[in-house]
Chains A and B, each alone.
Chain A
Amino acid sequence: MDKSKLSLELYKKVYLIRKSEETIIKYYMDDDMKTPVHLSVGEEAIAAGVCHATGKDDQIYGTYRNHGIYLARTGETDNFFGELYGKKTGMAKGKAGSMHMFCPECNFLGTSAIVATCIPLGLGGAFAKKYKKEKGLSFVFFGDGALEEGAFWESLNFACLHKLPIIFVCEDNGLAIHSHIKDRQSFKSITDIVSKFGCNVFKEKSTDPEVIHNLTLEAIKKQKENGKPCFMHLKYYRYLEHVGINQDFKFGYRSEDEFKKWLKVDPVNLQRKKLLKIGFSEKEIKKVETEIDKQIDKSVELAEKAPFPDCEEVLTDVYS
């Protein structure tokens, strides 16, 4: 892809994510979105960078902090907001909500609110690809907290043993709710350990979506070359409280100074500045932004107007 086109596409993705979540924040206190939200603000470069490198045969699995990857993968907001509003138009008719976003049409095949619990599913997706000799990779997203769960290590071991087509994406914000990684993990370098399983490892601290995108392409290439799974360790900073729409620096468990440092390299601003630098005009960028704003506004309006699912729905879809 032409370089400037890639920059623009990535900008659209990070902007869509940021703007969608700002919209959630804007309307959340109306109390119509009755679903706990774990926002991706600060994480957009990873969601956009990795997902933009995926093809239609690739699959995505994630956690409750899934808005970023959902939007980056699907690009759609009607079902997304429908789901947040608990309406019939949500992709799961309101049964799932924020923590369980799902879109089989886009190979976005599961997210889970139990830490590390979706990793084995992604493993199964990768297994199915190998079994059926189908193209594509399974991308499994999880936080640094998941590294402490057995399911992660069990899955890593199996994936490496069977050389499954899987990319583990660890989104490390250094926090599990309010507890710091140094108070939880005995090891210093997860990539060192993971590499010993016979896994290709990659790490990055950048908030530049292009850097993450290129790293993901590198990982995909490496996986194709040697058939081994990949593990990507990607750092980012969580701007807001663990769950909810507010900042939480006043509670003192982390410093606002640190936030300010990360804010200087905010992924959305960074990418926007880059567009200006490589020759896009302010007007051109504004146009793109306005289109996305309109898409989101329309989706919210649709979601607000949409009916709730029929009461009978409580008992449908339990079994096939």
Chain B
Amino acid sequence: MRKITFQEALNEAMIQEMERDKNIFVYGLDVTDHKRIFGSCKNILEKFGKDRCFITPLSEDAMTGMGLGAAINGLRPIHIHQRVDFLVLAMNQLTNMVSIHRYMSGGKVKVPLVIRAIVGRGWGQSSQHSKSMHSIFAHIPGLKVVLPTTPSDAKGLLISAIRDDNPVIFLEHRWLYFTEGEVPEEPTPIPLEEPNILQSGDDITIVATSWMNVEALKAAEVLAKRGVSIEVVDPRTIAPLNDKLIIDSVNKTGHCIVADNDWIHCGFGAELAARISEKCFNDLKSPVNRIGFAQAPCPTTRPLENEFYPNAVNIIREIEKKLELETTDLSREEFYSWEKRFKGPF
């Protein structure tokens, strides 16, 4: 199969869906400038015109409510934010209107609204351009929360999100934009609410979100050389959460680490740990461990930023502790440094 990047996959999904359904439109800050949301909105203006792809005033709150109003009136809006941090200004609409509207109508209306937002990282993104906050969105009944990892997920899940009749928050990690992978040319939806086993293994389960899957796979690759067999499960959609594959995996391995691309405290890892303790209690050989951001605002300077973000090495060390392995010599391993590709500024 042909390979394309995550960014191209997003772009292709939107274009193919917009060709299929004229009620889909794309809007948000900067969607039509020369950068086109890191390439993900390339050619949309040219193909579909300014009625279906347009920039907005800097009014995140009202523009979110506008999307809801359009959605209940038969349109299928895709609202895009360059950073999740900007989406916070729409929290009122998200939590007080978008998420409740169907319920408050007694099930009479549908809300087919997609909100794409990018999770920033690195090169000094600092505290206000780096948040993911997926557990905060996932906490709110009525919202769906999707975190694609692979280019194929980016396309297949975005298609499903667009076709879904519910509000979907679609969170894309900036560094994943560069990743390449096999993606079908045809519009092929991947069902929301289906976790993905990125790699099968028997000794331990790593449940990872978004970028942390890249780190988890690297950890698995390193430890495979020592004969440790790691299962990496990507939930992909964290709300509503279908935990069956995760529970089955932990029942099989007896060990679980949640590597979340977010803060740990009150986060998605806590939710999973609780579910696993309820549903896997008898098969658990060790407590569920959690890996995530340092419990601090994201700092700017590189050394502190390195401390802030968890990585494959942290995962390896955690696995060694859990499985009582000796410390692996990592001096000859090469770990990802995506900053070779991502030189900022944004």
Q: What bracket does the count of chain A residues touching chain B fall in? A: 35 or more
Selected from B59, B144, B166, the residue in CB contact (under 8 A) with A158 is B59
Task: Give the distance in Å from the alpha carbon of A121 to the alpha carbon of B107 in the complex.
Answer: 18
Task: Give the distance in Å from the alpha carbon of A114 to the alpha carbon of B61 in the complex.
Answer: 13
Q: Chain B residues with Cβ under 8 A from A110's Cβ? A: 69, 72, 97, 101
Selected from B23, B61, B75, B106, the residue in CB contact (under 8 A) with A120 is B61
What are 27 A-B contacts with C-beta separation under 8 Å?
A: A92-B105, A102-B104, A102-B106, A102-B108, A109-B109, A117-B65, A118-B65, A119-B62, A120-B65, A120-B68, A120-B97, A121-B66, A121-B72, A123-B66, A125-B73, A127-B70, A131-B70, A132-B73, A150-B59, A154-B62, A154-B63, A157-B57, A319-B102, A319-B142, A319-B144, A319-B166, A320-B107
Task: Give the distance in Å from the alpha carbon of A151 to the alpha carbon of B65 in the complex.
Answer: 9
Selected from A59, A112, A125, the residue in CB contact (under 8 A) with B97 is A112
Q: Which of B71-112 contact A (CB under 8 A)?
A: 71-75, 92-93, 96-97, 101-111
Selected from A96, A114, A150, the residue in CB contact (under 8 A) with B96 is A114
Task: Give the distance in Å from the alpha carbon of A162 to the alpha carbon of B152 in the complex.
Answer: 37
A219 at the binding interface (Cβ < 8 Å): no
Once the chains bind, are A125 and B69 in contact (CB under 8 Å)?
A: yes
- Chain A nearest CB: distance from B248 CB in Å? 24
B67 at the binding interface (Cβ < 8 Å): yes
- Chain B nearest CB: distance from A172 CB in Å? 21
Q: What bracket does the count of chain B residues touching chain A fall in? A: 35 or more
Q: Chain A residues with Cβ under 8 A from B63's Cβ? A: 120, 154, 158
A317 at the binding interface (Cβ < 8 Å): yes
Task: Give the distance in Å from the alpha carbon of A61 to the alpha carbon of B105 in the complex.
Answer: 13
- Chain A nearest CB: distance from B294 CB in Å? 33
Q: Chain A residues with Cβ under 8 A from B57's Cβ? A: 154, 157-158, 161
Once the chains bind, are B108 and A320 in contact (CB under 8 Å)?
A: no
Q: Chain B residues with Cβ under 8 A from A100's Cβ? A: 104
- The winner among B25, B51, B69, B73 for most chain A CB atoms within 10 A is B69
Once the chains bind, are B108 and A154 in contact (CB under 8 Å)?
A: no
Selected from A118, A138, A320, the residue in CB contact (under 8 A) with B102 is A320
- Given contact pairs A128-B73, A128-B74, A154-B63, A117 touches B96 in the complex (Cβ within 8 A): yes
Selected from A118, A126, A132, A154, the residue in CB contact (under 8 A) with B59 is A154
- Chain A nearest CB: distance from B180 CB in Å? 33
Task: Give the distance in Å from the alpha carbon of A202 to the alpha carbon of B59 in the complex.
Answer: 26
Q: Chain A residues with Cβ under 8 A from B30's Cβ? A: none
Once the chains bind, are B106 and A92 in contact (CB under 8 Å)?
A: yes
Given contacts A121-B68, A125-B70, A127-B75, 14 further A-B contacts (CB under 8 A): A61-B69, A95-B106, A104-B109, A118-B65, A125-B69, A127-B69, A131-B25, A132-B75, A151-B65, A158-B62, A318-B103, A319-B142, A319-B166, A320-B102
Selected from B66, B105, B166, the residue in CB contact (under 8 A) with A124 is B66
Task: Give the distance in Å from the alpha carbon of A125 to the alpha carbon of B97 in the complex.
Answer: 14
